[in-house]
Amino acid sequence: MRRRRTGRVVAGVASGLADHLNAPVFWVRAVFAVFAALSGAGIIAYALLWMFVPQSAEAEPETDEDRKEWQQAVGLAALGLGVAVFTGLLSGAASGWVTGPIAVALVGAAVVWREADEAQRRRWKDGAFGTGKKSGVVRAAAGAALVALGVGAFLVSNDSIQNLPSVALAVLATLVGVAVLTVPLWMRLVRDLDAERRARIRTEERAEIAAHLHDSVLQTLALIQKQSESPREVKRLARSQERELRSWLYGREVGDRPTTMSVAIAQTCAEVEDGFAIAVSQVVVGDCDLEDGMFALIQAAKEAMVNAAKHAGVGEVSVYAEIEPDKVTVFVRDRGKGFDPDTVPEDRHGLSGSIRGRMDRHGGQVRLRTAPGEGTEVQLEMPRKTEART
């Protein structure tokens, strides 16, 4: 909600509220007037809204009805105030000597506050802390004088009331007067501080993004330009930079010790990509915490990827992992040379030791599908021990 700047009569509170509630401004004003008549509640509400609702930063388009509306509004305000004063006098809750000075002080405060609104608008217009015009100073001074007069009159009239020490009352009244006069100042201070804090956060964010891009993307681009004769190296750099940027953008946790299966698999794929300059495309469905057998499973999968990178003679390996409540399955596949499992020499330990042995020790299973020219797929399956289902 914003107070309006055009078509306002006192501070634009009623029209701003009407805009906010999508109601005719006449009714809003009428409600304020009625509540003002009820022992001044409307006046207090109006003052509070004036204080806490910032005025709109841009001027709204003027309308033809402004003149008529203005007269209507002034009429309503006068009616509300008049009835408030009249009922106050009739009921005897406030004697003329109390109500009168307070009303004068209120008018003075309104003049000062309005002047503060004007000053703020001038600052918006000039874009800086421009010095107020002379008329503005005169208006503010007149408002202050009115407040002082009201407070003074109130004190004089209350000399006859004997139940409070007059000195204490004088101090209290002065404090209230000063507080009322300086309200616009405090509000402005709070708002300016808030705006400044927001601007600072934005600047810091931007600086952090710039720093990150500089450290990562720009550096890599420079490296790529230097390495441009080596397509393998360029590809490796580009892949690893892409990975890094993605994890930064999409907020994936990056750390030395992964805590979930999907992160651990992503890290392992990244290590193979970096170490062997091939692309590892991975798809992971589901997720779970890293339980006992999972480290073995990931190590076995890594060995399968490394084998593919070394022997398959292709630039890409696909990894698919599915985490189900009772087991985790990982498929490592390449479309490369393939081989005949029966002719693998005894001294090659990769498949038998690193993969099969690891999986067996933890109760897992390995299946192998390959034939010369058909590519290779290693299927790893590890049962989940804990019954905790994620």
Choice between 346 and 387, CB closer to other proteins: 387
* Selected range binding other proteins among 20-28, 98-106, 159-167, 249-257, rule: CB under 8 A: 249-257
When binding is defined by CB under 8 A, the residue of 266, 277, 288, 300 that contacts other proteins is 266
CA pair distance 309, 316, nearest whole angstrom: 8
Choice between 198 and 252, CB closer to other proteins: 252
What does the angle CA 85 – CA 89 – CA 91 come to, to the nearest 5 degrees? 115
Identify the three-state secondary structure at position 279: strand
Choice between 191 and 252, CB closer to other proteins: 252
State the chain's maximal CA–CA distance in angstroms.
Answer: 117
CA pair distance 34, 13, nearest whole angstrom: 16
* Selected range binding other proteins among 32-40, 72-80, 118-126, 246-254, rule: CB under 8 A: 246-254
What one-character-per-residue DSSP string does 231-276 give?
A: HHHHHHHHHHHHHHHHHHHTT----SS--BHHHHHHHHHHHHHHHH
Choice between 230 and 281, CB closer to other proteins: 281
Cβ neighbours for 48, distance < 8 A, ≥ 6 positions apart = none
Q: Are strands 327-334 and 316-323 parallel, antiparallel or unpaired?
A: antiparallel
193: left (phi over 0), alpha (psi -120 to 50) or beta: alpha
Minimum CB distance to other proteins, residue 307 (Å): 17
Residue 331 as a binder of other proteins (CB under 8 A): the answer is yes
Measured CA to CA in angstroms, residue 94 lies from 74, 85, 271 at distances of: 25, 9, 84
Minimum CB distance to other proteins, residue 387 (Å): 13
When binding is defined by CB under 8 A, the residue of 4, 114, 333, 384 that contacts other proteins is 333
| Order of all β-strands in the sheet with 376-383 | 279-285, 316-323, 327-334, 376-383, 365-370
Q: How many residues does the chain have?
A: 390
Which residue, chain included where needed, has tokens 């009322």?
Answer: 180
In contact, 274 and 240? CB cutoff 8 Å:
yes
Residue 248 as a binder of other proteins (CB under 8 A): the answer is no
The site string for other proteins over 15-34 (x = CB under 8 A, - otherwise) reads: --------------------
**What six digits make up the tokens of 306?**
């490394």
* Selected range binding other proteins among 118-126, 199-207, 222-230, 280-288, rule: CB under 8 A: 280-288
Q: Give the other-Cβ count within 10 Å of 211's Cβ.
A: 10
Minimum CB distance to other proteins, residue 309 (Å): 16
Q: Restricting to residues 342-381, name those near other proteins by CB under 8 A.
A: 377
Closest-CA residue to 84 (of 139, 28, 138, 45): 45
The site string for other proteins over 203-242 (x = CB under 8 A, - otherwise) reads: ----------------------------------------
Q: Restricting to residues 282-321, name those near other proteins by CB under 8 A.
A: 283-286, 318, 320
Choice between 157 and 329, CB closer to other proteins: 329
* Selected range binding other proteins among 79-87, 154-162, 248-256, 345-353, rule: CB under 8 A: 248-256
Minimum CB distance to other proteins, residue 204 (Å): 23
Q: Restricting to residues 154-193, name those near other proteins by CB under 8 A.
A: none
Residue 389 as a binder of other proteins (CB under 8 A): the answer is yes
Residue 129 as a binder of other proteins (CB under 8 A): the answer is no
129 phi, psi to nearest 5 deg: -80, 80
Q: Give the other-Cβ count within 10 Å of 319's Cβ.
A: 23
* Selected range binding other proteins among 65-73, 130-138, 221-229, 250-258, rule: CB under 8 A: 250-258
When binding is defined by CB under 8 A, the residue of 95, 135, 259, 281 that contacts other proteins is 281
Q: Are strands 376-383 and 365-370 parallel, antiparallel or unpaired?
A: antiparallel
* Selected range binding other proteins among 102-110, 141-149, 164-172, 243-251, rule: CB under 8 A: 243-251
Residue 251 as a binder of other proteins (CB under 8 A): the answer is yes
Catalog residues that contact other proteins under the rule CB under 8 A. 246, 250-252, 266, 279, 281, 283-286, 318, 320, 322, 331, 333, 377, 389
